[in-house]
């Protein structure tokens, strides 16, 4: 068991090292650099050269890599080329909104999708299953910008229940409670839109897993033993499908930090998604490198947690690992 975890952690570090190198190389292999993309006749080639020096782009690639690796390992990410603000400050100002938006959307989509998926599996061939299947497929296949713009038009403009933009009213409300309520009000429509777009995938996935499990012999056995249906569904069938569900959930976790560019744009939210996009397209090497490094770190940690969680929810995994020891 101990050896297993040592191996897993060592391989995680190895992956992180590869990500570190790729982050450095891939951004620099992209055509152009942060300076050459400035196309402004008032910005002469000499002025561009001066900017290149300030950004440290006149240094050799090996020297640039050493500086970059030091920044990443010490978590001192430096200054963004585009905004001239510390990258930590940029990310920390965006992460709360992004986590609030995507975290709540992920949890709500997972809960609603799972419940609907189970409901559909238990009611095979009925109207309920058809509604869930159709609803799931429709929700899963609509483009997000379309759904979000329709929602904004309907509930932000025609029936103005929700605000059109941002996370705060202008002028902002006074008092902590009023500020929290205002924040929730502003975030409601973006979260609802993402739940609408996201629950379908969960519902279809869980429904398929449940249908398969409900046809297994041990479920028949449980029924034959006269166990209450609640016990059969949640204690036997759902518990059996938990490992893949947890895996999907945990692997989606890094996504709640990486942001949602379209949602952030439509609802004018200050989030990580746009920052990532602008960093990459604007050749903001320090910002893009730091953001992708943190995302990689989060993905690796989520994988490790998923491994750990497997052992808790699936006794077979526990026994297997002990057996290997």
Partner 1 sequence: MNRFWEKYIILLTLLFFFQGSYCAAEDRLSPLKITGPKVYELYMVIIRDPDAQVLAAEKGDIDVLGDIIRPVDVERLSRNPDLDLSLAQAFHGFFLGFNLRKSPWNMEELRQAAWLAIPREKIVRDLFSGYAAPLSTFLPPASPYAEKDIPLSGFDPVKAREILKNAGWKWDSEGILIPPGTEKSLEKMKLLSPTAQVAPTTAELASRSVESLNDIGIPLELDPMDFATMISRLNEHDFDTYVLAWSMTRDPDSLFAFYHSSMNIKGGYNIPGINDPELDKALEELRWAPDERSAREASSLSQKLLDKKVPAIPIYSRYSIASVNRRWKNIIKSRVSTADNTWSLLSMEPVKGEMVPLHWCLSDEPRSLNPFSAGSAYDWQVMGTIYDGLLAVDPFTLEDIPWLAEEWKIETVTRGDGEKTRLYFRLREDVVWQDGKPFTAEDVKSTILFLRDNMIPRYLDNVRDVIEIAIPDNYSIEITMKGVSYWYLHNIGGLPILPEHIIRNVKDWQNWQPSKLENPVDKTLTQLVGTGPFVFREYRIGEYVRFTRNEKFWLLEQ
**Contact between 137 and partner 1 (CB under 8 A)?**
no
Report, in Å, the least distance between residue 290 CB and partner 1: 16
Q: Which residue has the tokens 């020297």?
A: 63
**Contact between 32 and partner 1 (CB under 8 A)?**
yes
Determine which residue in the list 56, 103, 135, 166 makes contact with partner 1, applying CB under 8 A: 166
Give SS3 for 43: coil
| Cβ contacts of 305 within 8 Å, gap of 6 or more | 250
**Contact between 82 and partner 1 (CB under 8 A)?**
yes
255-274 footprint of partner 1 as x/- string (CB under 8 A): ----------xxxxxxx--x
**Contact between 286 and partner 1 (CB under 8 A)?**
no
Contact (CB, 8 A) for 313 and 245: no
Report, in Å, the least distance between residue 288 CB and partner 1: 13
**Contact between 188 and partner 1 (CB under 8 A)?**
no
Q: Which of the stretches 7-15, 101-109, 164-172, 230-238 binds partner 1 when contact is defined by CB under 8 A?
A: 164-172
Three-state SS annotation for 208-239: HHHHHHHCCHHHHHHHHCCCCHHHHHHHHHHH
Q: Which of the stretches 25-33, 69-77, 107-115, 201-209 binds partner 1 when contact is defined by CB under 8 A?
A: 25-33
Q: Which residue has the tokens 């006149």?
A: 58
Q: Which residue has the tokens 């990410």?
A: 77
Cα–Cα distances in angstroms (integers) from residue 93 to residues 75, 98, 138, 169, 269, in the given order = 17, 10, 34, 18, 11
Number of residues interacting with partner 1: please give it, by CB under 8 A. Answer: 52
Which C-beta is closer to partner 1: that of 55 or that of 202?
Answer: 55
Q: Which residue has the tokens 């036997």?
A: 236
**Contact between 172 and partner 1 (CB under 8 A)?**
yes
Determine which residue in the list 14, 18, 26, 54 makes contact with partner 1, applying CB under 8 A: 54
Read off the tokens for 172: 């902002």
Report, in Å, the least distance between residue 227 CB and partner 1: 53
**Contact between 176 and partner 1 (CB under 8 A)?**
no
**Contact between 250 and partner 1 (CB under 8 A)?**
no
What DSSP string describes 162-218? S-SSSSS-SSPPSSHHHHHHHHHHHHHHHHHHHHHHHHHHHHHHHHHHHHHHHTSHH
**Contact between 48 and partner 1 (CB under 8 A)?**
yes
C-alpha 258/C-alpha 293 separation (Å) is 11
**Contact between 171 and partner 1 (CB under 8 A)?**
yes
- Site of interaction with partner 1 (CB under 8 A): 30-32, 36-48, 50-51, 54, 79, 82-86, 93-94, 97, 149, 152-153, 156-157, 160, 164-168, 170-172, 265-271, 274, 281, 283
């Amino acid at each position: 068991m101990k050896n297993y975890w040592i191996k897993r952690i060592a391989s995680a570090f190895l992956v992180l090292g590869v990500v570190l190198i790729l982050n450095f190389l891939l951004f620099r292999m992209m055509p152009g650099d942060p300076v050459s993309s400035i196309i402004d006749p008032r910005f002469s080639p000499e002025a561009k050269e001066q900017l290149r020096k300030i950004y440290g782009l006149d240094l050799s690639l090996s020297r640039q890599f050493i500086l970059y690796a030091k920044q990443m390992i010490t978590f001192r990410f430096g200054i963004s080329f585009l905004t001239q603000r510390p990258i930590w400050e940029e990310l920390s100002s965006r992460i709360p909104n992004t986590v609030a938006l995507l975290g709540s959307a992920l949890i709500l989509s997972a809960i609603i999708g799972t419940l609907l998926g189970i409901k559909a599996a238990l009611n095979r061939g009925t109207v309920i299953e058809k509604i869930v299947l159709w609803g799931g497929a429709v929700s899963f296949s609509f483009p997000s910008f379309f759904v979000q713009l329709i929602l904004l038009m309907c509930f932000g403009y025609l029936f103005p229940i929700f605000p059109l933009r941002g996370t705060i009213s202008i002028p902002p409300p006074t008092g902590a409670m009023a500020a929290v309520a205002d924040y929730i009000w502003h975030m409601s429509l973006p979260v609802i839109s993402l739940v609408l777009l996201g629950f379908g995938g969960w519902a279809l996935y869980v429904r398929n897993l449940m249908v398969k499990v409900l046809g297994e012999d041990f479920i028949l056995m449980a029924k034959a033993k006269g166990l209450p249906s609640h016990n059969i569904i949640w204690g036997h069938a759902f518990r059996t499908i938990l490992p893949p569900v947890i895996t999907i959930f945990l692997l989606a976790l890094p996504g709640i930090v990486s942001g949602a560019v379209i949602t952030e744009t439509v609802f004018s939210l200050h989030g990580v998604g746009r920052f990532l996009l602008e960093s990459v397209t604007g050749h903001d090497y320090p910002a893009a490198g730091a953001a992708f490094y943190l995302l990689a770190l989060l993905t690796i940690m989520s994988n490790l947690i998923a491994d750990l969680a497997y052992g808790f929810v699936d006794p077979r995994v526990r026994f297997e690992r002990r057996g290997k020891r």
